[in-house]
Amino acid sequence: MKFVFLADTHVGGSDTSGYMQQPRHLAHLPELIGLLAEWIDEQRDIDFVIHGGDVVESTTPENIRIAADLFSRLPCPTYLALGNHDLTTKNAVACWLEHAPQFFIGNEVDFFFVNDKIRVDIICCHWGKIPYFWRSSEPQNPYFLPAQLEMLNTRDQGKCRILVTHANLCGVPCEQSGMDYLLHVPGKTFSDELKQLTQKFRVSLVLGAHNHINLNTKLNNVRYVTGSAFCETPFEFKLFDFTDSHFTMKTISFSDYVNFKYKYDFNKTFVQGRLCDRSFKEHFQN
Ligand SMILES: [Fe+2]
């Protein structure tokens, strides 16, 4: 079973403002998605795409429809873990379900599915006082609601479990960033809760985004992975491949294939990560 993981397409945003780690090229998203569609076609065995959130810059019906149209060009389904930028209005969830229900299952933005014994739980994390609503003026404190976690308890356990949410899950280690402190560390309560959940439900892989950085951390036999933004140079995504005995991750860049000029900040190559941050092979525990 193979799937693509990408994040942070920020449809409707600007190339000159907003959080970014590398230069954005939003006008070229149609070309980038076109390249991805061709690439998936060539592979022939990609089952689905997971978007880790921040599909749009702000939650308007127009942005959602543009994003839905872009991803409808892919030859396989795309499932979405809503990010903070996807929740900028109080009616954001209703707006997504009205204009792009195909990103979700069962008309719920928290959902799970099983594919070839792999179970994927997609859970929207909340950032401020009001669930499913993000205000940029509020401090960012990701959390889940108890009702969302009940979903993890449901049957259909699958052989291997993957948890997807938009929040970044671990800090960037000094060895990767070259700095003398951990970068982008999530709140302790949230990361402790995540670690407990992974142990309780025997999760093998946790996928996140939000930091726009390729990160690959192994803690207690669980892989915590985040990816750089698909709309930022060098236009990267992840390929996951699950077999009966192991699973692998590769990071793939489209920078050699695009038909436009792009910029890259060579002072921040840590965003792309070292080889060990960009790929791994993990054997299942018996
Ligand atoms: Fe983002």
Q: What is the pLDDT of residues 95-146, one digit of tens each?
A: 999 999 999 999 999 999 999 889 999 999 999 999 999 999 999 999 999 9
- Please give the mean pLDDT across all residues of the chain: 95
pLDDT of 81: 98
| Long-range contacts of residues 273-278, Cβ cutoff 8 Å, at least 24 apart | 273/176, 273/213, 273/214, 273/215, 273/216, 274/175, 274/176, 276/216, 277/176, 277/214, 277/215, 277/216, 278/214, 278/216, 278/250, 278/251
Instruction: Report CA(76)–ligand 1 centroid distance (Å).
Output: 23
Instruction: Report CA(246)–ligand 1 centroid distance (Å).
Output: 30
How many whole angstroms separate alpha carbon 164 and alpha carbon 143?
Answer: 13
Instruction: Report CA(286)–ligand 1 centroid distance (Å).
Output: 36
pLDDT band for position 179 (50/70/90)? Answer: very high
Answer for the pair 160, 119: CB distance below 8 angstroms, yes or no: yes
Residue 285 above 80 pLDDT?
A: no
Domain count, the chain: 1
> What percent of the chain has a predicted confidence (pLDDT) above 90?
91
Helical (H) or strand (E) element with 36? helix 29-43
> What percent of the chain has a predicted confidence (pLDDT) above 70?
99
pLDDT of 117: 83
pLDDT of 254: 98
Instruction: Report CA(152)–ligand 1 centroid distance (Å).
Output: 25
Higher pLDDT, 187 or 156: 187
Q: What is the mean pLDDT of residues 229-240?
A: 98
How many whole angstroms separate alpha carbon 33 and alpha carbon 185?
Answer: 30
Whether the full predicted model's pTM is greater than 0.85, yes or no, is: yes
Instruction: Report CA(86)–ligand 1 centroid distance (Å).
Output: 9
How many whole angstroms separate alpha carbon 233 and alpha carbon 216?
Answer: 19
pLDDT of 127: 96
pLDDT of 151: 93
Instruction: Report CA(10)–ligand 1 centroid distance (Å).
Output: 7
Instruction: Report CA(231)–ligand 1 centroid distance (Å).
Output: 10
CATH code assigned at 160: 3.60.21.10
Per residue in 12-61, pLDDT tens? 999 999 999 999 999 999 999 999 999 999 999 999 999 999 999 999 99
Instruction: Report CA(215)–ligand 1 centroid distance (Å).
Output: 15
pLDDT of 157: 72
pLDDT of 186: 84
- Per the structure, the complete domain to which residue 74 belongs is given by 2-283
Residues whose CB falls within 8 Å of the CB of residue 285, separated by 6 or more in sequence, listed in order: 221
Among 115, 112, 116, 114, residue whose Cα is nearest residue 244:
116
Q: What is the mean pLDDT of residues 223-251?
A: 97
pLDDT band for position 155 (50/70/90)? Answer: confident
pLDDT of 286: 64
Classify the C-alpha dihedral 96-148-13-140 as positive or negative. positive
How many whole angstroms separate alpha carbon 247 and alpha carbon 117?
Answer: 13
Instruction: Report CA(169)–ligand 1 centroid distance (Å).
Output: 14
